[in-house]
């Protein structure tokens, strides 16, 4: 996948693949002579089992994605193999030139990697515009740009710490995160070799052993730390993956000794390595546990296979992986990886499924193999095999440059223009909650105007607290505050809690402006205003720290009111108020602060915007059963607390049976369970009716 594919009778690392030569002592180059240290480098040795190893990794990745909706650990194999082969490639450059050449190294990489990737990205850009829901196009175009620039892993890392972005459907280029990390690895390794040569080519292997060993230890330790702290971020972080490349590099530095392992010992090592690779995804939840110490499983498996090359006899793993079927598939492994994911994502988006059934899944694999063969044969190989400096190479380089620029420019334009027309909201065509305030109609209302917000941009119709930075995420324990309404208002209300508090900000802002109140907002993803927040273990400490900080701010500001949630619909059906809520409200009572606690909003297991696009003529298909999210009676009904007023607008969110995704021609949610800013503002008058003026204040 991420290194290069096989070519008949040859093996290469980037292109051409490095031979796995026995280590030679490298002499310090004579600065006055041509930079050649070892002009008698041994001939290259083709290692077909590496092609087979790539084939196994690529097929595991595709099969797990398509049929199981899981991660296999195959990418970790690619990283290990890449570290092994690229280290050998650069060592051979030093051996023949006395240094490493950026022009030679990166031009070969470009000719190997860019034709297929840019071709697939171009195809995905067209398919996105034609086949994907409009609500997903802007995000996809943005990720295409990140993929072209080899920073897709960081784009996904930023989303992994964005609680709301995790609700977005997978983009058809999400798998480019692995190529992005590998591209960054190539740059890191080249710089390391430059430094090692500067320190002395005659001792480069010793230098590299220390450097790669240090990188392995530092990166592996960081991987364990960050995976425990924030696994979604760690999964895409370059620093948590460098050790996997370093492991392959360290094996390459000792290749002379590895090649001398007795076949009787190497044979079982090969089978053990292959067993570890195949069993990884079956026994481990890779997407939830990696890349911490658990990633040693596939990495060790890959290293064992690479170290078993001396056992190539009948009945060995090396013989199996080096057989013609495996080598043939291995030659296309890069293209297989590139194609399988966008085909799968588009299929799932068009069908509304989360995994592919057997027959469609087999069809996806078949189409992937056909496209992979055509891409390898007619796009990748002609440029890869053309002599450097030839007309074909120059034309290909120009074409790749033009394609890259066109993809970046086109995707940026597409991301900005995908929003569609701005639709004005009218009482007649967009009544919103007014359509059901006096009772739900027996039949859904029909409107001649499109809904608001436009479905193409509904996912971005979020409360202002997100763009203003006063909604924090991940492990950030420091609250950030935003102010709305009248800064000199006689009444101050603070909006505190998680994202289900945050989406009330537009409604509260409208109410504060109408009442000339001061509104202060501070929210944190998944973190309720509670002494016992219901969050993942790794986020609990930061949530408690955040709670203590906002409580101290309440004590300083002394607002008349604190607005937060009262129930939790994450547990289906609705869960009674947690004791942690009651304890926190008691602390606010001790500060003389009144609490406005509103009933939680419904939650769906699917993205409501995408569901509405797929079922525009029958939006009832997107409704959530009321009894799946709400208890028959508000769990707070039996509570009588001196400083707490319980609010309930669930009658505007659901009828007696269902909670629709669109009400009164207004889109209710921008994902599965967070209200659009448009719907929130539409609820402001009804919220205003429920909130009494605090003691000591009066209406103007």
Residue 428: half-sphere exposure toward Cβ, Cα within 13 Å = 2
Domain tally, the chain: 2
- Residues 588, 85: Cα–Cα separation, whole Å: 62
Residues 406 and 468 in one domain: no
Q: Is residue 513 part of a domain?
A: yes
* Whole-number pLDDT of residue 310: 84
Nearest Cα residue to 562 out of 534, 590, 533: 590
For residue 309, what pLDDT band results from cuts at 50, 70 and 90? confident
Q: How far is CA 107 from the centre of its chain?
A: 29
Q: Is residue 638 part of a domain?
A: yes
Residues 186 and 258 in one domain: yes
From 49-58, 73-82, 606-615, 691-700, the region with the lowest mean pLDDT: 691-700
Domain that holds residue 174: 73-130+137-317+379-413
Q: Is residue 55 part of a domain?
A: no
* Whole-number pLDDT of residue 400: 80
Residues 401 and 535 in one domain: no
Residues 403 and 469 in one domain: no
Which CATH number is 609's domain given? Answer: 3.40.50
Mean residue pLDDT across the chain: 86
Whether residue 259 is predicted with pLDDT greater than 90 in this model: the reply is no
Please state whether beta strands 482-485 and 518-524 pair in parallel, antiparallel, or not at all (unpaired): antiparallel
Q: Is residue 104 part of a domain?
A: yes
Residues 396 and 486 in one domain: no
Contact 79, 54 (CB under 8 A): no
Q: Is residue 611 part of a domain?
A: yes
* Whole-number pLDDT of residue 147: 94
DSSP annotation string for 242-290: HHHHHHHHHHHHTHHHHTTS-HHHHHHHHHHHHHHHHHHHHHS-HHHHT
Residues 567 and 638 in one domain: yes
Q: Is residue 467 part of a domain?
A: yes
Q: Is residue 538 part of a domain?
A: yes
Residues 231 and 312 in one domain: yes
Q: How many other C-beta atoms lie within 10 A of the C-beta of residue 651?
A: 14
Residues 302 and 180 in one domain: yes
Residues 463 and 599 in one domain: yes
Residues 528 and 586 in one domain: yes
Q: Is residue 351 part of a domain?
A: no
Is the peptide bond prior to 83 cis by the omega test (within 30 degrees of 0)? no
Whether residue 175 is predicted with pLDDT greater than 90 in this model: the reply is yes
* Whole-number pLDDT of residue 226: 93
Whether residue 390 is predicted with pLDDT greater than 90 in this model: the reply is no
Query: Facing residues of 524 across strands?
Result: 472
Q: What percent of the chain has pLDDT over 90?
A: 64
Q: Which residues of 369-399 are buried (b: 16+ CB within 10 A; e: fewer)?
A: bebbbebbeebbbebbebeeeeeebeebbee
Whether residue 283 is predicted with pLDDT greater than 60 in this model: the reply is yes
* Whole-number pLDDT of residue 258: 85
Residues 651 and 516 in one domain: yes
Whether residue 558 is predicted with pLDDT greater than 90 in this model: the reply is yes
166 or 263: which carries more pLDDT confidence? 263
Residues 396 and 472 in one domain: no
Whole-prediction pTM value? 0.81
């Amino acid at each position: 996948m991420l290194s290069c594919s096989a070519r008949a009778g040859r093996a290469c690392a980037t292109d051409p693949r490095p031979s796995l030569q026995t280590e030679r002592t490298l002499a310090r180059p004579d600065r006055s002579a041509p930079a050649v240290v070892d002009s008698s480098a041994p001939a290259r040795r083709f290692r077909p089992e590496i092609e087979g190893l790539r084939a196994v990794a690529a097929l595991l990745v595709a099969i797990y994605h398509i049929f199981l909706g899981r991660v296999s650990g195959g990418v970790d194999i690619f990283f290990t193999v890449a570290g092994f082969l690229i280290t050998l490639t650069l060592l051979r450059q030093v051996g023949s030139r006395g240094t490493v050449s950026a022009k030679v190294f990166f031009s070969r990489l470009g000719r190997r990697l860019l034709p297929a990737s840019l071709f697939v990205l171009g195809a995905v850009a067209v398919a996105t515009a034609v086949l994907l829901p409009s609500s997903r196009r802007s995000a996809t175009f943005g990720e295409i740009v990140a993929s072209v620039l080899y920073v897709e892993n960081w784009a996904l890392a930023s989303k992994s710490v964005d609680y709301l972005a995790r609700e977005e459907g997978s983009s058809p280029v999400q798998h480019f995160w692995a190529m992005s990390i590998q591209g960054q690895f190539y740059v890191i390794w080249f710089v390391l070799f430059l430094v090692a040569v500067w320190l002395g080519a005659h001792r480069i292997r010793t230098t590299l052993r220390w450097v790669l060993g240090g990188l392995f230890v530092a990166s592996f330790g960081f991987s364990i730390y960050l995976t425990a702290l924030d696994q979604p971020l760690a999964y895409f972080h370059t620093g948590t993956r460098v050790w996997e490349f370093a492991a392959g590099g360290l094996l390459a530095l000792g290749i002379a000794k590895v090649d001398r392992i007795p076949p009787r010992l190497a044979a079982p090592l090969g089978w053990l390595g292959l067993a570890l690779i195949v069993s990884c995804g079956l026994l481990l939840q890779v997407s939830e546990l990696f890349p911490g110490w658990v990633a040693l499983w596939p990495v060790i498996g890959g290293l064992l296979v690479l170290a078993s090359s001396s056992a190539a006899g009948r009945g060995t793993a090396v013989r199996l992986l080096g057989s013609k079927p495996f080598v043939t598939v291995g030659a296309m492994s890069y293209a297989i990886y590139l194609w399988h994911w966008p085909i799968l994502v588009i299929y799932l988006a068009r069908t509304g499924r989360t995994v592919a059934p057997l027959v469609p899944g087999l069809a996806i694999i078949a189409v992937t193999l056909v496209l992979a063969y055509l891409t390898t044969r007619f796009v990748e190989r002609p440029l890869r095999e053309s002599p450097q400096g030839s007309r074909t190479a120059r034309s290909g380089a120009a074409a790749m440059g033009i394609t890259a620029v066109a993809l970046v420019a086109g995707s940026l334009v597409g991301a900005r223009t995908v929003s569609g027309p701005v639709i004005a909201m009218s009482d007649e065509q967009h009544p919103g909650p007014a359509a059901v305030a006096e009772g739900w109609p027996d039949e859904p209302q029909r409107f001649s105007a499109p809904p608001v917000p436009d479905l193409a941009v509904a996912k971005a119709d979020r409360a202002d607290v997100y763009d203003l930075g006063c909604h924090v995420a991940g492990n950030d324990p420091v609250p950030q505050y935003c102010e709305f309404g009248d800064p000199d208002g006689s009444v101050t209300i603070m909006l505190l809690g998680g994202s289900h508090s945050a989406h009330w900000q537009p409604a509260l802002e409208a109410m504060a402006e109408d009442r000339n109140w001061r509104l202060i907002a501070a929210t944190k993803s998944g973190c309720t205003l509670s002494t016992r927040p219901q969050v993942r273990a790794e986020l609990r400490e930061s949530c408690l720290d955040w709670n203590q900080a906002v409580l101290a701010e309440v004590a300083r500001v002394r607002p008349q009111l604190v607005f937060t949630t009262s129930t939790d619909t994450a547990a289906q059906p609705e869960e009674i108020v947690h004791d942690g809520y009651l304890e926190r409200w008691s602390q606010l009572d001790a500060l003389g602060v009144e609490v406005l606690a509103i009933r939680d909003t419904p939650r769906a297991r699917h993205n409501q915007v995408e569901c509405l696009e797929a079922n525009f003529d029958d939006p009832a298909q997107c409704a959530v059963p009321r009894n799946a999210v709400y208890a028959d009676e508000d769990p707070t009904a039996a509570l009588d607390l001196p400083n707490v007023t319980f609010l309930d607008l669930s009658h505007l969110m659901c009828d007696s049976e269902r909670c629709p995704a669109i009400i009164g021609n207004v889109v209710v949610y921008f994902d599965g369970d967070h209200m659009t800013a448009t719907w929130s503002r539409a609820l402001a008058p009804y919220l205003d009716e429920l909130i009494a003026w605090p003691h000591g204040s009066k209406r103007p």
